[in-house]
Structure 1
C-alpha cells in the first residue's frame, strides 16, 4: 500500500523561479532591502510568495510550534509620547499573559511603514497592534497581507475588517471650540501635522471648523520641515488684534513652538487661549493658563491589548470598536 507523500514546502528557489529573478534578489526582498529594486520586481516577488504561500525558514520554525508568543506593536512615531504610552499600556496586559511585545516605529514615513508591514507579513508574530499612518482601509489591506489577529489604534478606518480603539476626536474638539467661541474667541489657529493623512486629525479639524468661522491652518510635514519657516508662518497668524485660540491637534507641536511664542509675547492671557490634544502635563507646566484636551494613550493600549488577547484565545465574535472619551480641562473643572 502506497503512503501519501507529504506536500513539499515551497523554497526560496521556487519563489525565485516563479518571479523570474535570482535567489539573491528574493533574499534582499525578504530582508527589506528593496531600495535598489524596481517596484515591478518587488511586485513579482510578492505575488510569487502569495501564490506559493511561501514561509521563510525562521517563521516556519515558529509556526511548527503554533505560536511565537511575540506581539508586534507598530506605532506612527516614537517621537510622540502618545506612541510610547500605547506600548507601555499594551505591555502591562500582554506580558502577564505570557506574550513578548515588540515595538516598531514607522517614523511618520509611509515607505518605511511599508517595509515594516512587509517584515510583519513574513515573520511569525502572533498578532499586531497597529497605529497606521493612513486612514485608507484598502491601502492597508493591500500592504498587510497576512491573516492574523490585528487591532487598530488611534485611527477610525471606514469598513475596517479589524476592531479599533479610538478617542472621541470630533466631539472633544467640538466641545473645546464651543467653549472658546462662547467666550468670544472667534479666531482659531490650527497647528497640525498633515491633516488629510490621518482620520484622527481630520475628525479633530472638523470639530473646529464646524463651530468656528475664522480659522487659519498651519500644517507641518512631520518627516521634512524647517523649524524656523514653520515658526515664522505661525507667528504671522498669531500677530493679530483678534481674540485668538491656538489649537494644536498634536501635543508635539506645542512643545516645539509654544515656548518661543510666549517668549516673544505672542501669547497674551487676555487675548489668547492655548489648547490642544495632550498626552502629558508638560504643556501645563510651560503655560499654566493652557486648556488642554487630555487623552489616555496608556489606557488605549491596555484596552487594545485586551481585545487582541480575546482574539488570540479564539474569540471570533465580532468585536465592537472601543471609543475612549478625552477630557477637556477648563477652570470650571477645578
Structure 2
C-alpha cells in the first residue's frame, strides 16, 4: 500500500502538520526534527502527492509549458532554458505540443488548469482574443515566451522581431545589394509579419520599392513547405540576389531549391536565416543567421513567471532580449 503523511508522522514521532511544514518549507523546523522526518520518508519510501499537497498549500510546484512543436530545433533549445530554471526554483514542468492549432491550444490551457499547475509558459504563433479569454477564465499566471501579445496585456519575453529583420535587411543593403527577397511563414503568423514589416521598413528607408514578387510565404516555418514554394518561385523565372528568411529551415528550403536547379550559395544567391539553430552550422555553406538567445528566452520566461507566482517586484512585464547577426559563408562571395 502507498504510504501516507500519517505513516511518516507516526514513524518520525511528530505531527502531520510538522511533516507538511518539512515537505512544503512553509515554516522553520528544527534541524533535528527535519532529519527525523527525512529519515522516516526514506525508510517508508513515501512519495508526496503533488495534487494533495496543492490542495493544502494552493501550490503544486508545477509549471505548464505549451508550445507548437517539441521536435522543432528552436523550441527544443528554448525548452532547455525553461527546464533548467524551473529546476533551479524547484518546479516540475508539464510539457505539451499544440501543433500550432488554436483549438488545441485552448483545450490544453483547460487541461493545465485541471492539473492544477501554478502557472503557464505559453509559446504560440499568434495570440488571439479567444486565447486571451481562455487565459482569463483559467485565472492562471501566464508568461508568453518568444511570443507577443499585440495589446501588451500578458507578460512576455521575446526579441524585437521587426528590428531584427530590419537589421538583417540592412546587412545586405549596406553592401550595396538590391533585389532582396523576404521569405516568411504564413501571413497569419505574427512573428513572420513582424519580420516582414522590418524588411519592408529597411527597403523603404533605403529608397527601394517593396516588390510583392520578391515576398514569399511558406505554409509554415518548416523546410518542406519552404522548399516547395521556393522551387515554384524559381521555376517561374524569378530571381533574388539575396534572401532574408524568417527561419533557418526556410532558408535551407530555398538553398536546396536553388541547388536542384544546378545553382548554389553564395555564388547564385546570398542567404540569411533566422534563429541560429544547429542547422545553420551543419549545412554547407554554413548559414549566416539572426541569432536569438533561445536558451535565455526560456530561462527568463520561467524567472518572470516565478516572480509573478511569488509576488516579487517586477521591473518590466514586457522583456525584450538582444539579437545579433552571425555572419557565415552563405553571404560571403570570393
TM-score above 0.5: yes
Q: SS at the partner of 1:195?
A: coil
Residue-by-residue CA offset, 1:117-146 (whole Å, 9 max, x unaligned): 22123330011111123133x332212221
TM-superposed CA distance for 1:231, in Å, is 4.2
Q: Where does the alignment leave 5 or more consecutive residues of structure 1 unmatched?
A: 1-57
Distance 2:126 2:147 in 1: 8
Instruction: Verify the 8 A CA contact 1:259 1:286 in the aligned structure 2.
Output: no
Is 1:311 aligned with 2:302?
no
Is 1:297 aligned with 2:290?
no
Residue-by-residue CA offset, 1:177-229 (whole Å, 9 max, x unaligned): 1121232322222222213332x222111111112333522222239986774
Instruction: Verify the 8 A CA contact 2:181 2:243 in the aligned structure 1.
Output: yes
Structure 2 residue aligned with 1:74: 66
Is 1:288 aligned with 2:280?
no
Distance 1:149 1:143 in 2: 12
Distance 2:116 2:187 in 1: 34
Structure 1 residue aligned with 2:220: 222
Instruction: Verify the 8 A CA contact 2:70 2:76 in the aligned structure 1.
Output: yes
CA 1:228 to 1:319, structure 2 compared with 1: closer, same or farther past 3 Å?
Answer: closer
RMSD: 2.9
TM-superposed CA distance for 1:258, in Å, is 2.5
Q: SS at the partner of 1:107?
A: coil
Structure 2 residue aligned with 1:10: none
Q: Which has the larger radius of gyration?
A: 2
Which of 122, 126, 145 aligns to 2:114? It is: 122
Structure 2 residue aligned with 1:140: 131
Residue-by-residue CA offset, 1:5-33 (whole Å, 9 max, x unaligned): xxxxxxxxxxxxxxxxxxxxxxxxxxxxx
Structure 2 residue aligned with 1:192: 184
Query: What TM-score results when the alignment is normalised by the length of structure 2?
Result: 0.72
TM-superposed CA distance for 1:270, in Å, is 4.2
TM-superposed CA distance for 1:88, in Å, is 0.9
Instruction: Verify the 8 A CA contact 1:156 1:164 in the aligned structure 2.
Output: yes
Which of 194, 200, 203 aligns to 1:203? It is: 194
Is 1:156 aligned with 2:155?
no
TM-superposed CA distance for 1:160, in Å, is 2.9
CA 1:331 to 1:251, structure 2 compared with 1: closer, same or farther past 3 Å?
Answer: closer
Structure 1 residue aligned with 2:235: 236
Distance 2:251 2:55 in 1: 46
CA 1:228 to 1:287, structure 2 compared with 1: closer, same or farther past 3 Å?
Answer: closer
Residue-by-residue CA offset, 1:244-302 (whole Å, 9 max, x unaligned): 21221022223445234235333343442100212324224323363211112111111
TM-superposed CA distance for 1:154, in Å, is 1.3
Q: SS at the partner of 1:211?
A: helix
Distance 2:237 2:94 in 1: 42
Structure 1, 316-325 or 244-253: larger mean CA deviation? 316-325
Instruction: Verify the 8 A CA contact 1:166 1:324 in the aligned structure 2.
Output: yes
Structure 1, 58-67 or 93-102: larger mean CA deviation? 58-67
Q: SS at the partner of 1:173?
A: helix
Q: SS at the partner of 1:247?
A: strand
Structure 1 residue aligned with 2:317: 320
Q: SS at the partner of 2:188?
A: helix
Instruction: Verify the 8 A CA contact 1:110 1:133 in the aligned structure 2.
Output: no
Instruction: Verify the 8 A CA contact 1:277 1:293 in the aligned structure 2.
Output: yes
Q: How does 1:51-70 map to 2 (within 5 A)?
A: 62-70=54-62
Structure 2 residue aligned with 1:108: 100
Distance 1:226 1:91 in 2: 30
Structure 1 residue aligned with 2:25: none
Distance 1:80 1:190 in 2: 22
Q: SS at the partner of 1:269?
A: coil
Structure 2 residue aligned with 1:14: none
Q: SS at the partner of 1:307?
A: helix
Q: SS at the partner of 1:132?
A: coil
Instruction: Verify the 8 A CA contact 2:113 2:138 in the aligned structure 1.
Output: yes
**What number of residue pairs does the alignment pair up?**
272
